[in-house]
Structure 1
Amino acid sequence: MRPKAPGPVPTATLWCVLATGLVSALLFGDGLGVNLILVAIPATLAAYAAARAAGRRARPWTLVWGVGGLALLGIPALHDAGWPTFLAVVGAVGLASLALHGGRTWRAVLFGPIGLFDSVGSGIGWAGRGLREMVDGSRGRAAVVLRTTAVAVGLLVVFGALFAGADAAFADLLGALMPDVDSVADVPLRVLSFAVGLLGALAAARTAAAPLRWDRLKGRPGRPHGRLEWALPLIVLNLLFAAFNAVQLAVLLGGYERVFSETGLSRAEYARQGFWQLLWATLLTLAVIGLALRWAPRGGARDRTLVRGVLGTLCLLTLVVVASALRRMDLYVDAYGLTRLRISVAAMELWLGVVIVLIMAAGVLGARRLPLPRAVAASAAVGVLAFGLMSPDALVAEQNVRRYERTQQIDIGYLDGLSADAVPALDRLPEPLRSCALAGIEAELEGPGTPWYATSWSERRARDILAERGVSTEGYLCTPWRDGFQEESGGEGGYDGADPYVPHGG
């Protein structure tokens, strides 16, 4: 599984690794934005130079993973919310590991990121040997490079200072473009950012030159069972799924009001009672399918037909369960409004449905025509990218504002904690609800401006909106009364109902 030691580190790789460390030290520390892409570019070039020197060539899937990773790093440049940014960064690391390692199996998909950490220690020694060889072989050229760099930097400093003194607009432009490194307190953070960027780029280059071969890690295949022993439990499970789906169809045709009257449950209680159970049912079904494939009979064409028929039926019935879970969440949101948790678990349930469709497609087309591990990884990356691009905080605010326009019910205490992505939707609320909803966001955006490389597009748009219309809560109590509120037990979003934001003394 472990490859041979790579050859000498290319000079281009060393320069790109150093550039990654410097860019990390300059641009990290003020937040995340386009600086993630600016750091990823030299790191990608370092890995490319190392792979090319080692004789590795980019394949179509390598380009898919690489481009997908860079696209995910664009999420922080567009939106302000931290949780989609976290998912995007984690997804980008996963796609980077796939691009560097390659591989078609589940082991390559799941264990690839471990190879990046494995390359940190070996990458330091690899770079040290390369530096010694470069210095020994080019002592005269190193002096020329240092002199040339010193002259270029000196010219930039001298003429840049002159032009900045001659024109205030040019001075402002330079001030906006140059990172702020004046504070002594920032030095430890800058040093840490330099080390992380340097070691990260070095690990990526070392992995690109000599990756761990996860596909060579073989597991013991499961023992095939007899047809009756294997199929009978799954057929019983299919019958249970079919009975549940038949009840769901009867409820849909008969109307939910009849179910509410017979069970005594409210719309929200019925939705809350069902969604989480159906989500767990979907997850457990995927586990059952994985174990069933491991222990499936493998005697010939008849066994393959049996496996496809039984598991295909289970997948179809599970898709109906996924649709039912999403319908329950729709009822839940209609009763209590949309929150971050609810949109997250609904997105996860939707992605699990996509995975089930991919399993069915792989069963029909075969593993060669549709490599399931790669397809699932690609669907997860597309899901994270779509989740970040649609701006979940903005969707939460938009849905709750529409619900207020329809029912006059809103939870300002929850919306006040959203990110700057929610400002355009919350700006439509009438006063004083608008100011109460935007007060917390405005407080987060106050203070010195964030540098351009750490400012998202949503944050700039929110600042423009708040600067144009302002926020004023003077004379109003922005803490809702709890008397008479309908509270949701065990859920996210706190209390609900009509929030009486009244003047002081009212």
Structure 2
Amino acid sequence: MNPDRPLDGVRSVKVKLGLLVAASIVAASLVSTIGDRAGVPGWFTLPVTIAAALGVTQWLARGMTSPLREMTAAAARMATGDYSRRVTATSADEVGILAQAFNTMAADLAGADSQRRQLVATVSHELRTPLAAQQALLENLVDGVVRPDDAVLRTALAQAERLGGLVGDLLDLSRVDGGRTPLALALVDVRELVEAAVAEAGVSRRGTVHVVDVPAALHVTADAARLRQLLANLLDNADRHSPPGGRVTVSAGTDGSERWWLVVADEGKGIPVEHAGRIFDRFGSGDDSGGGTGIGLAIASWVCELHGGSIASVPPAPGEHGARLRAVLPRSPRPTSPEADPPQRLETVVPAQPTTRTGVPEASSAPAAGDLPRVEAGGRPTPRPAASAAVPAATPGPVVDSLFGDLWPEAGLAPQVRLLLLCLGVGVLSAIVLPYRGLGVALFAVLVLGGAVLWHTKRARSPWTRLTAVLCVALASLSVLRAAEWLTVLAVLLGIVLLTTALTDAKRLLPLLAGVASWPLAAVRGLPLLGRTVAVTSRIHVLWPVVRTAVVSVVALVVFGGLFASGDAVFGSWAGALVPHLGWDSLTFRTFVGFVMGGALLAAAYVALNPPKVERVALPGARPVAHPWEWLVPVGLVVALSLAFVVAQAAALFGGHAYVQRTTGLTYADYVHQGFGQLTVATLLTLLTVALAARKAPRSTSHDRFLLRVALGSLCALTLLVVASALHRMDLYQQAYGFTVLRVVVDAFELWLGLLVVLVLVAGVRLSGWWLPRAALVSAAAFVLVGGLVSPEAWVAERNIDRLAASGKLDVDYLRSLGPDATPSIATGLPGPLASCLLRDRTPLEPDDLLGWNLGRARAGQVAATVAAVPDPVTCTTWLHTGYQR
């Protein structure tokens, strides 16, 4: 089995596809099971599982579609006249059979094309001499240089006869290509037929002597006209290749009771052995030095085959020289005829060469067949490559090139060995320092190191790129400053969005989303470059020996070290002190982490090296409505509803609790809690409404632009009042029922939506909003950074402690669920016994090392260590279950 094409031996494409799907499912299931058994989180297991399935698919699918792509490339070359390309056909399935048939077809087309070009070369050579002689003769007659006497006219007649013979050969060839030719069988006297043919050949006056050696009693059944054609062509060939005064012998005889033979021999140079096998090929005589079209012998062979016989070149007898052509025919042929070769179309034109006044052509040699031009439309010749040698088709482009098309082309990217090694190094570092540590210095260092690798690969460092780099570093620093994992995850996700906009230079909303999607898609798009890079590393003489040596050394260390450590207690104690304990679960977890981090960095590096053309991702061009009222009516309804809502809010605000309860039957706390989610959704829908109206509203006149500004400005202004109402509702609800991190995050999100509405107002005034997506991203990053610096969990703890002072109530169980960031606020803001109850489990069992250090956890550990012991466990348990009231 070929390891590069493992499924070549399978004889069915369906079976191949089934094996491919089954193998990829098995690989994915195996990797997923290993990760699950080792306790690897799902967001680490999923990308590794997908990569394993894709890797198995890529390995098994290698060679399945490459013949089809090669055929596409070869067919494109055939359209330009190059028939030399061949397809690699190694598989045994339907695609392999198709590739073999394609190669056969290409060889046939190449042969036919070669014959056409050879015909042009030969016919041009034959036509040039008589035409040039006739042209010179006629010019001399017109100019009065010669007189039209018998000798001159005989010369013109000889040239005309030569042209007529050539035209006759071409007509005979067209009849050969026309299909089946019936035989008019009759009894033929061979001697009489030969003497008549010799008499006709003597008219040519080439100076040869014809000798006939045919028995008088030789009678056969044949087509007399075809036999005359056979003899005429053989005699013409012998006359042309015989020296002046040479002898041409025609002999015939019987070959048993069913066959007879006919031999035409001359005293010329003979036929070279290397040409004897192809002198009867169409358009080629094997040796063009004696002239001739190369058609006559092909016609002679066709006549013999038509009768059910054959013709061949036989060596001369000892002591003789010259060519001997021997035809063997049946004495009573069948009345049917074999099929002729399929018709061939001539499409090449070679202009006649100029001649001198003396009738001699300027160049007497025929052009080489491979050098002839192919005339295109418009008369401009283009060179046509020779098709004599089969050249393998160029390797087709990878499948992913056609998958992503013009949206993400790849050109001019050299193998990136250094970049690959850097990404592998970051992956190995991640596998060593990240697992089994909390978020802290190690994660920040890995993120900054990965950013430095990407910064090194970035070709254009624009102001936006520099700004995003600063923001990404600031967001990554939250992993050191705060212990809340959800905050770090949010910061990293936002940093990814900022990073992809810098790598792809996306400005609008859809290109921004396409840029985010390009990061995971780069794991597929970058496979060709990865393959080229790995192939280049195999040529680095030092690299792979070092890798092999390291792998073998590690294996030897593990195997022999384990044997010796288990066989001797002293050696085992030494090994235990020197080597950290690494179980299979730990190795698996670290492998998954290293693969995900290194692979993610490698995918981002590919986006930096070869960013997709995300700006091409756009909605179809919007066609504005014909009448302004088509967009004003729906927008006006939204404005009216928003205005009615604002009036209702004003009535509730000035009417107070009594008015709300009398009107709705709800308490004011229930009233303000009921609509917060709906108002947030209404804000999002308002932004969508503004976008649709701006897309469909006409802007051709100043009146249209005025209406657009007024309508959308009014809607945005009312939306800001809706945002204020939503924030006011949430504030009242938190004052009544307490503060939580989720409520604070939702508050921040609603406030950010309000900022977006303000930005939309600014864009509406300018009627230009290309900068909105980037401004929204920067504002989101600013919100997360400010929130991270403020520490949401600590802020929530402080607000709840302040609420305790105002209402005397405290949700102890929720406050206890807050993370380490809230520990200092709890310790300093609550009474000692209550703080001791909440913080009794906060002291870490093992302090973080330098790589796992985090400011939030460090402060929490210091504060928790100073908290006094719980005074009364029973009271503490009561507080945790029922809450605390002062």
Cα distance in 1 for residues equivalent to 2:431 and 2:588: 10
Equivalence map 1:188-267=2 (5 Å): 188-225=588-625, 226-252=627-653, 254=654, 256-260=656-660, 262-263=662-663, 264-267=665-668
Cα distance in 1 for residues equivalent to 2:717 and 2:580: 57
Query: What secondary structure is seen at the aligned counterpart in 2 of 1:219?
Result: coil
* Counterpart in the other structure of 2:786: 386
Instruction: Determine if the alignment matches structure 1 residue 37 to structure 2 residue 444.
Output: yes
How far residue 135 of structure 1 moved from its aligned partner, in angstroms, is 5.1
Cα distance in 2 for residues equivalent to 1:218 and 1:407: 55
Provide closer, same or farther for how the CA distance between residues 130 and 261 of structure 1 changes in structure 2, counting only shifts above 3 A: closer
Residue in structure 2 matching 1:296, options 697, 712, 724: 697
Provide closer, same or farther for how the CA distance between residues 183 and 468 of structure 1 changes in structure 2, counting only shifts above 3 A: farther
* Counterpart in the other structure of 1:415: 815
- Asked if structure 1 preserves the Cα contact closer than 8 Å seen for 2:417 and 2:536, the reply is no
Cα distance in 2 for residues equivalent to 1:328 and 1:180: 56
- Asked if structure 2 preserves the Cα contact closer than 8 Å seen for 1:6 and 1:210, the reply is no
Instruction: Determine if the alignment matches structure 1 residue 364 to structure 2 residue 765.
Output: yes
Cα distance in 1 for residues equivalent to 2:543 and 2:662: 87
How far residue 40 of structure 1 moved from its aligned partner, in angstroms, is 2.1
Residue in structure 2 matching 1:83, options 486, 489, 493: 486
- Asked if structure 1 preserves the Cα contact closer than 8 Å seen for 2:836 and 2:867, the reply is no
How far residue 3 of structure 1 moved from its aligned partner, in angstroms, is 2.5
- Asked if structure 1 preserves the Cα contact closer than 8 Å seen for 2:623 and 2:696, the reply is yes
Instruction: Determine if the alignment matches structure 1 residue 317 to structure 2 residue 715.
Output: no
Provide closer, same or farther for how the CA distance between residues 473 and 84 of structure 1 changes in structure 2, counting only shifts above 3 A: farther
Q: Percent identity?
A: 36
* Counterpart in the other structure of 1:336: 737
Equivalence map 1:451-470=2 (5 Å): 451-470=849-868
The letter for the 2-side match of 1:410 is: L
Residue in structure 1 matching 2:750, options 324, 342, 349: 349
Provide closer, same or farther for how the CA distance between residues 98 and 331 of structure 1 changes in structure 2, counting only shifts above 3 A: same
Instruction: Determine if the alignment matches structure 1 residue 24 to structure 2 residue 425.
Output: no
Structure 1, unmatched stretches of 5+, are 148-174, 483-494, 501-506
- Asked if structure 2 preserves the Cα contact closer than 8 Å seen for 1:19 and 1:42, the reply is no
How far residue 409 of structure 1 moved from its aligned partner, in angstroms, is 0.2
Cα distance in 1 for residues equivalent to 2:666 and 2:543: 81
Cα distance in 2 for residues equivalent to 1:79 and 1:463: 13
* Counterpart in the other structure of 2:410: 4
* Counterpart in the other structure of 1:111: 514
Bigger Rg, which one: 2
Number of residues of Structure 1 aligned to a counterpart in Structure 2: 449
The letter for the 1-side match of 2:786 is: A
Query: What secondary structure is seen at the aligned counterpart in 2 of 1:432?
Result: helix
* Counterpart in the other structure of 2:253: none
How far residue 8 of structure 1 moved from its aligned partner, in angstroms, is 1.6
Cα distance in 2 for residues equivalent to 1:67 and 1:498: 45
How far residue 141 of structure 1 moved from its aligned partner, in angstroms, is 9.0
* Counterpart in the other structure of 1:448: 846
How far residue 251 of structure 1 moved from its aligned partner, in angstroms, is 4.2
- Asked if structure 1 preserves the Cα contact closer than 8 Å seen for 2:522 and 2:607, the reply is yes
Cα distance in 2 for residues equivalent to 1:255 and 1:465: 48
Q: Deviations over 1:95-130 (max 9, x none)?
A: 121121111111121222211111113435423422
Cα distance in 2 for residues equivalent to 1:187 and 1:432: 44
How far residue 334 of structure 1 moved from its aligned partner, in angstroms, is 0.7
Provide closer, same or farther for how the CA distance between residues 304 and 480 of structure 1 changes in structure 2, counting only shifts above 3 A: farther
* Counterpart in the other structure of 1:57: 460
* Counterpart in the other structure of 1:492: none
Provide closer, same or farther for how the CA distance between residues 425 and 145 of structure 1 changes in structure 2, counting only shifts above 3 A: same
Structure 2, unmatched stretches of 5+, are 1-406, 550-576
Provide closer, same or farther for how the CA distance between residues 425 and 141 of structure 1 changes in structure 2, counting only shifts above 3 A: closer
* Counterpart in the other structure of 2:707: 306
Q: Structure 2 length normalisation: TM-score?
A: 0.48
* Counterpart in the other structure of 1:281: 682
The letter for the 1-side match of 2:588 is: P
Cα distance in 2 for residues equivalent to 1:248 and 1:391: 32
Cα distance in 1 for residues equivalent to 2:580 and 2:523: 30
How far residue 143 of structure 1 moved from its aligned partner, in angstroms, is 8.3
* Counterpart in the other structure of 2:162: none
Cα distance in 1 for residues equivalent to 2:419 and 2:448: 12
Provide closer, same or farther for how the CA distance between residues 140 and 467 of structure 1 changes in structure 2, counting only shifts above 3 A: closer
Provide closer, same or farther for how the CA distance between residues 318 and 43 of structure 1 changes in structure 2, counting only shifts above 3 A: same
Query: What secondary structure is seen at the aligned counterpart in 2 of 1:211?
Result: coil
The letter for the 1-side match of 2:481 is: L
The letter for the 2-side match of 1:451 is: D
- Asked if structure 2 preserves the Cα contact closer than 8 Å seen for 1:337 and 1:403, the reply is yes
Query: What secondary structure is seen at the aligned counterpart in 2 of 1:453?
Result: coil
Query: What secondary structure is seen at the aligned counterpart in 2 of 1:74?
Result: helix
Provide closer, same or farther for how the CA distance between residues 74 and 383 of structure 1 changes in structure 2, counting only shifts above 3 A: same
Residue in structure 2 matching 1:99, options 494, 502, 506: 502
- Asked if structure 1 preserves the Cα contact closer than 8 Å seen for 2:537 and 2:543, the reply is no
Provide closer, same or farther for how the CA distance between residues 181 and 117 of structure 1 changes in structure 2, counting only shifts above 3 A: farther
- Asked if structure 2 preserves the Cα contact closer than 8 Å seen for 1:278 and 1:322, the reply is yes
* Counterpart in the other structure of 1:47: 454
The letter for the 2-side match of 1:80 is: A
More RCO (CA 8 Å, sep 6+): 1
Cα distance in 1 for residues equivalent to 2:412 and 2:443: 28
Residue in structure 1 matching 2:475, options 49, 66, 72: 72
The letter for the 2-side match of 1:329 is: M
Cα distance in 1 for residues equivalent to 2:798 and 2:431: 38
Query: What secondary structure is seen at the aligned counterpart in 1 of 2:689?
Result: helix
Q: Between Structure 1 and Structure 2, which shows a larger proportion of helix residues? A: 1
Cα distance in 2 for residues equivalent to 1:180 and 1:47: 33
Query: What secondary structure is seen at the aligned counterpart in 2 of 1:31?
Result: coil
Q: Between Structure 1 and Structure 2, which shows a larger proportion of strand residues? A: 2
The letter for the 1-side match of 2:861 is: R
* Counterpart in the other structure of 1:187: 587
Cα distance in 2 for residues equivalent to 1:219 and 1:323: 33
The letter for the 2-side match of 1:232 is: V
How far residue 346 of structure 1 moved from its aligned partner, in angstroms, is 0.7
Cα distance in 2 for residues equivalent to 1:232 and 1:217: 31
How far residue 193 of structure 1 moved from its aligned partner, in angstroms, is 1.5
How far residue 202 of structure 1 moved from its aligned partner, in angstroms, is 1.0
- Asked if structure 2 preserves the Cα contact closer than 8 Å seen for 1:21 and 1:196, the reply is yes
Q: Structure 1 length normalisation: TM-score?
A: 0.81
The letter for the 2-side match of 1:205 is: A
* Counterpart in the other structure of 1:375: 775
The letter for the 2-side match of 1:77 is: V
Cα distance in 2 for residues equivalent to 1:143 and 1:481: 66
Cα distance in 2 for residues equivalent to 1:315 and 1:180: 62
How far residue 478 of structure 1 moved from its aligned partner, in angstroms, is 3.2
Provide closer, same or farther for how the CA distance between residues 101 and 403 of structure 1 changes in structure 2, counting only shifts above 3 A: same
Cα distance in 1 for residues equivalent to 2:608 and 2:787: 29
- Asked if structure 1 preserves the Cα contact closer than 8 Å seen for 2:660 and 2:667, the reply is yes
Q: Deviations over 1:346-373 (max 9, x none)?
A: 11110110110111111223437x6112
| Aligned-residue RMSD, C-alpha | 2.9
Q: Deviations over 1:52-96 (max 9, x none)?
A: xxxx31111112222222221111211111221221121111112
- Asked if structure 2 preserves the Cα contact closer than 8 Å seen for 1:25 and 1:194, the reply is yes
Cα distance in 2 for residues equivalent to 1:180 and 1:467: 29
